[in-house]
């Protein structure tokens, strides 16, 4: 009898294991989106924010042609404040890309010939080296094409990944790519594209004029502006998004960063559904959702009453003092059973950028004695600094990039004037120069380096690749800095 019970138990266990294995195989087969058949070719519709392309619906997987142009262009950050944005498709954030799982995307990235810098693109939806960055590095006046299969449904960030990566992102080089599941997302009445970014300028918040990027503030994560869709007020006034009472609204919300996490909230609404971090998991009845830098979320809700609903980063000083504020204007009949308060018409004004500070105590000047390193130590430390800050543009052997960045190896421009070269590292350089008989017209950004690091890296450069072997001291750097 015990023997029969044991046999029965083994049979049941075997059947359960076989069933589980069968189910697992079935799940793996369904999840293997690399094998989805691609039928036909179509050109992708690309849209500037806050618009999104048409839903994919029930279309089959296709070869999807994406053509995107990089443009460096001056634009308005806020009234009286201009900024040179680096953009994908001419907008910040860049063009919205809409695909479905299983598509074979053929991506062509073109760098406009009037641009000053090389760029590339890292799409978080890509399974491959650098998210495409390694295949898409492109100099001004050139284009690159690469392809990838969309394997995972979700909402993903893309951004430039050319060094210095943070600077390219901080200047507006980010956007969203949506990979819809087979059959598409559930239908809604209105869809919009919103992306938060933090910006760092030499001038204080609101200081007038053309403001350059400030690397020191960016490293310290001290943002002057935190905005939706590239500028203060992009989603207010005539730029506000709209809906009618009773409609369902879907927001594709991204966070380009480069530094700050977004606490996204719509004042007076509750999110019915939130695709957490743009993935499969859905949270319901959410007040505020956290979106990390380089992340995204899809939020759905129904608008039941009319009025102006304010979109904010609920790290609230960013909204009312730095610009992270937008509007959803809803029109239609009031429903007193849902909301019986007084409706007030008018302009919604941010509180302004006035900052109050406490008085500081007088600080005593600290005198630091400079101790010069040996040449060998400078070479070692300078090589490390070079690899972190100079390598991407000037390359491993100082050969530079033709038509984009001048060579440092055997450079007549460097060797003829050491003080000038130190000054360029300290202050940056814009405009045309001639190096070894070739003309270059690009931007050398001001480097966020200490005086000692400048001395180290310049000593390394001058003692490498056939240059004049100058040993640059910290005192030389200080003298140039104080001129």
The reply, when asked if residue 393 is annotated as ligand binding, is no
CB atoms within 10 A of CB 115: 21
The reply, when asked if residue 394 is annotated as ligand binding, is no
The reply, when asked if residue 159 is annotated as ligand binding, is yes
The reply, when asked if residue 327 is annotated as ligand binding, is no
Straight-line distance from the first to the last Cα atom of the chain, in angstroms, rounded to the nearest whole number: 100
CA angle 44, 47, 50 (to 5 degrees): 150
CA distance 434 to 204: 35
CA angle 31, 36, 40 (to 5 degrees): 155
DSSP string, 413-443: HHHT-HHHHHHHHHH-EEEEEEETTEEEEEE
Helix-strand-coil percent breakdown of the chain, rounded to 5?
Answer: 25, 35, 45
396 Cα distance to chain centroid: 27
CA distance 448 to 393: 16
> Strand 63-78 to strand 104-111: parallel, antiparallel, or no bridges (unpaired)?
parallel
The reply, when asked if residue 275 is annotated as ligand binding, is no
Selection from 117, 97, 94 nearest residue 173 by Cα: 94
Tell me the sheet residues that pair with 148: 105
Could you give the dihedral angle defined by the CA atoms of residues 209, 211, 216 and 222, in that order, rounded to the nearest 10 degrees?
70
The reply, when asked if residue 173 is annotated as ligand binding, is yes
> Strand 63-78 to strand 190-199: parallel, antiparallel, or no bridges (unpaired)?
unpaired
CA distance 66 to 86: 19
Token pair belonging to 122: 């890292």
CB atoms within 10 A of CB 324: 29
Which residues does the annotation place in the binding site? 119, 124, 159-160, 168, 173, 314
Which residues does the annotation place in the binding site for Cu cation? 119, 124, 159-160, 168, 173, 314
């Amino acid at each position: 009898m015990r023997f029969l019970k044991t046999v029965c138990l083994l049979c049941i266990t075997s059947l359960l294991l076989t069933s589980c294995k069968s189910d697992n195989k079935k799940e793996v087969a369904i999840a293997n989106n690399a094998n989805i058949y691609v039928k036909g070719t179509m050109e992708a519709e690309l849209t500037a924010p806050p618009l999104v392309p048409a839903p994919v619906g029930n279309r089959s997987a296709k070869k999807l042609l994406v053509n995107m142009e990089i443009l460096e262009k001056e634009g308005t950050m806020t009234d009286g404040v201009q900024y040179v944005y680096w953009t994908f498709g001419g907008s910040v954030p860049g063009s919205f890309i809409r695909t479905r799982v299983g598509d074979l995307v053929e991506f062509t990235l073109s760098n406009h010939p009037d641009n000053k810098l090389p760029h590339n693109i890292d799409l978080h939806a890509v399974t491959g080296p650098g998210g495409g960055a390694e295949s898409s590095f492109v100099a001004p006046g050139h284009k690159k094409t690469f392809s990838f299969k969309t394997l995972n449904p979700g909402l993903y960030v893309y951004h430039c990944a050319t060094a210095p990566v943070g600077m390219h992102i901080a200047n507006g080089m980010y956007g969203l790519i949506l990979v819809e599941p087979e059959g598409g997302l559930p239908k809604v009445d209105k869809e919009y594209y919103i992306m938060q970014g933090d910006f760092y300028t030499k001038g204080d918040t609101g200081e007038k004029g053309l403001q350059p990027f400030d690397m020191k503030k960016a490293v310290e994560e001290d943002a002057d502006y935190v905005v939706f869709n590239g500028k203060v007020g992009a989603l207010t006034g005539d730029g506000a998004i709209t809906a009618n009472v009773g409609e369902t609204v879907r927001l594709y919300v991204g966070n380009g960063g480069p530094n700050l996490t977004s606490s996204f909230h719509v004042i007076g609404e509750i999110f019915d559904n939130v695709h957490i971090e743009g993935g499969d998991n859905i949270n319901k009845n959410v007040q505020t959702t956290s979106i990390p830098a380089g992340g995204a979320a899809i939020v759905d809700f129904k608008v039941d009453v009319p009025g102006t609903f304010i979109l904010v980063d609920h790290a609230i000083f960013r909204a009312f003092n730095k610009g992270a504020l937008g509007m959803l204007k809803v029109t239609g009949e009031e429903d007193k059973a849902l909301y019986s308060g007084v409706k007030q018409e008018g302009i919604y004004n941010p509180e302004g950028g006035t900052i109050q500070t406490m008085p500081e105590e007088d600080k005593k000047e600290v005198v630091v004695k400079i101790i010069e390193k040996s040449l060998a130590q400078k070479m070692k430390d300078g090589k490390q600094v070079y690899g972190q800050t100079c390598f991407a543009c000037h390359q491993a052997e100082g050969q530079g990039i033709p038509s984009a960045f001048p060579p440092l190896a055997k450079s007549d421009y460097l060797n003829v004037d050491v003080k000038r070269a130190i000054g360029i590292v300290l202050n940056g350089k814009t405009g045309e120069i001639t190096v070894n008989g070739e003309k270059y017209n690009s931007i050398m950004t001001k480097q966020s380096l200490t005086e000692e690091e400048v001395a180290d890296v310049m000593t390394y450069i001058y003692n490498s690749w056939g240059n004049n072997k100058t040993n640059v001291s910290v005192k030389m750097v200080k003298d140039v800095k104080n001129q």
